[in-house]
Amino acid sequence: MIDILVSTLFQSLRNEKNYLRINSGMGPRDASLLDIATTKNMQTLIQIGDSLLNKPVSRVNFETN
């Protein structure tokens, strides 16, 4: 739901090129929590980020899906 709202906001401001939502869909749930600053969690986040750099970028058109 938030994807559609934020995308619509950026489109209405004619700034859609400035909006990029990164959705990894991977990693443990703990990795997405903002209050776990352990070394293990930081390493997990680094691994997720590194794997995202090797994936192609894809876009979603919310009007046509």
- Which tokens is 28 given? 């443990």
What is the model's pTM? 0.54
User: Is 7 a domain residue?
Assistant: no
Summarize pLDDT for 12-41 with one digit per residue, the tens.
888 777 777 777 676 666 666 767 888 988
> 60 lies in a domain?
no
Residue with the larger pLDDT of the pair 47 and 7: 47
For residue 36, give its domain range: 22-55
Supply the pLDDT for residue 41. Answer: 85
d(CA 16, CA 60): 12
1 within some domain: no
Cα torsion 57, 22, 60, 27 to 10°: value is: 90
